[in-house]
Amino acid sequence: MSAPALRAARVEPRRQVVRAGSAFTPLGRRRRRLFWPFLLPALVTYLGFFIAPAAASMWISFHRWDGVGEMSPRGLDNYRTLLGDSAFLGAFVNTMIILVLVGASTFAMSFALTMVLRDMRGRRFVRAVLFFPYIVAPVVLSVLWGFLFRSPEGLFSAAWNALTGSPGPNWLGEHLFAVILVGLIWVNTGFYTTIIMAGVDRIPPDLYEDCALAGATAWQRFRHVTLPLSWEVVATAAVLWTISSLKIFEFIYAFGGTTNDMPTLEVWNSALFVYGSTFGGRVPQYQFGYASASAVVTLAAMTVLVVLLRRLMRREAVQF
């Protein structure tokens, strides 16, 4: 990799002059007066719809509550029980598997596709096709996947049979969670490919020409140009994924469950556990205190992960 290909990071010098918008100018005063009217609607909405329910969940998590009668305080008992509850721990582990395994695979796939698509003709069209699974309702997709993977007559099982001559694994009966993971990778790859491609598209082509002249391999191009120059985008996408992976619900629900039933316990993630402890199932449990505690634990774990991820992925921004 030739040195000139990378330009030194440039930190913008701070301006010392009084800016036009500073508080002391007439424009600044007017801006200040408009500060609250502009901020207030968003602030009120955010407080009312995000912070208040989160705080309420926190409060409820210290109680036993069926949603109808009075709440009775339980102190930290809900949390103590959670840590020994195999149903919750299983769901939590599944959430982590989705976060790490599906996340890593999705990003690897997205980068691979980005590399392929960069030089491809008709890539806008291909990108749109890749994005397609993301906009189709997860319920529809999971029904489709159910048809693909059922054995022995599902399309996938039939293809397996035709190729290998053996009936193959019982996908839905014995490997349901694995199939769900593959499904989630497939659904999300298009979305993250689009985001990463947007970052990669901004990289000036002359850098790649430089690479070609220097005789860099595809891996070197990726390692020394693509990745560092799209790092900001990747870091943001990673945080996006972490947060959205926590909320995955309908794909698993529709794939593993039916109109009446939750999916089987082995494929629950934290979101399904919260639903199963409150409104889910044939006869709901209505354990709002306990479910809130599980949601708080998951939220706390995710917050820690996002902070760690941000720290881990923090790099000096490369200007180009």
Partner 1 sequence: MVRYGSRTRRLSAALLAGALTLSLTGCGSSGGRDENVVTYWSMWKENEPQAQVLHQTAAAFERDTGTKVDIQWQGRDVLKKIVPALRGGEVPDLVDQDQNLMRATLVSSGAYRDLTGLYNSPVSDGRKVSDVIAPRYADAVKNDGKPFLAPYEVIGYGLWFDASQLPEVAAKPPRTWREFVELLAHRKAAGRAPLALDADIGQYNNLWTTGLLQGALGAEQVNQLAADHSGEAWRRHPGVRPVLEEIATLVRDGYFVPGYNGSKWPAIQEKWAQGEADFLLMGSWAPSETGAKARPGFQYHFAPLPTPGDQRYVPVESIGFAIPARAQHAGNAERFIAYVLRDEHLGKIATVAKNLTPNPELPAPPELTSLAEAAEQLHVARSEDGIQADYPGYTEEVLWPVNNQFLKGQLDIEGFFQQLKEKQANYWKKKG
By CB under 8 A, tell whether 228 contacts partner 1: no
We find the least distance from the C-beta atom of residue 279 to partner 1, in angstroms, to be 5
Q: How far apart are CA 171 and CA 256, in angstroms?
A: 12
By CB under 8 A, tell whether 150 contacts partner 1: yes
We find the least distance from the C-beta atom of residue 38 to partner 1, in angstroms, to be 9
What is the 8-class DSSP label of residue 101? I
Distance of CA 111 to the CA centre of its chain: 16
Reference 118, options 250, 68, 110; nearest CA is 110
Residue 89: other Cβ atoms inside 10 A:
13
| Structure tokens that stand for 269 in this block | 């993630």
> What Å distances lie between residue 166 and 128, 176, 178, CA to CA?
36, 19, 20
Residue 251: other Cβ atoms inside 10 A:
19
The three-class DSSP label of residue 63 is strand
Q: How far apart are CA 253 and CA 276, in angstroms?
A: 11
By CB under 8 A, tell whether 190 contacts partner 1: no
Tokens 């210290």 label which residue?
Answer: 62
The terminus-to-terminus CA distance of the chain in angstroms comes to 17
Residue 138, preceding peptide bond in cis (omega within 30° of 0): no
| Structure tokens that stand for 127 in this block | 């990108």
By CB under 8 A, tell whether 173 contacts partner 1: yes
Q: Which of residues 108-147 bind partner 1 (CB under 8 A)?
A: 146-147
By CB under 8 A, tell whether 282 contacts partner 1: yes
By CB under 8 A, tell whether 276 contacts partner 1: yes
Which one of residues 171, 177, 222, 253 is an interface residue with partner 1 (CB under 8 A)? Answer: 171
By CB under 8 A, tell whether 262 contacts partner 1: yes
Q: Name the segment binding partner 1 (CB under 8 A); options: 110-118, 131-139, 148-156, 233-241.
A: 148-156
Which one of residues 54, 66, 101, 123 is an interface residue with partner 1 (CB under 8 A)? Answer: 66
Q: Are 189 and 110 in contact (CB under 8 A)?
A: yes
Q: Are 208 and 225 in contact (CB under 8 A)?
A: yes
We find the least distance from the C-beta atom of residue 202 to partner 1, in angstroms, to be 34
By CB under 8 A, tell whether 232 contacts partner 1: no
> Residues touching partner 1: how many (CB under 8 A)?
44
By beta-carbon proximity to partner 1, the closer residue of 87 and 182 is 87
By beta-carbon proximity to partner 1, the closer residue of 15 and 282 is 282
By CB under 8 A, tell whether 174 contacts partner 1: yes
The residues near 78 (Cβ < 8 Å, ≥ 6 apart) are: 61, 62, 63, 64, 289, 290, 292, 293
By CB under 8 A, tell whether 86 contacts partner 1: yes
By CB under 8 A, tell whether 260 contacts partner 1: yes
By CB under 8 A, tell whether 158 contacts partner 1: no
* Contact map string, positions 11 to 40, toward partner 1, x by CB under 8 A: -------------------x--xx--x---
We find the least distance from the C-beta atom of residue 256 to partner 1, in angstroms, to be 8
By CB under 8 A, tell whether 241 contacts partner 1: no
| Structure tokens that stand for 29 in this block | 């005063």
We find the least distance from the C-beta atom of residue 54 to partner 1, in angstroms, to be 19
By CB under 8 A, tell whether 164 contacts partner 1: no
By CB under 8 A, tell whether 155 contacts partner 1: no
Q: Which residues bind partner 1 (CB under 8 A)?
A: 30, 33-34, 37, 66-69, 81, 84-87, 146-147, 150-153, 157, 170-174, 258, 260-262, 264-266, 276-277, 279-287, 290
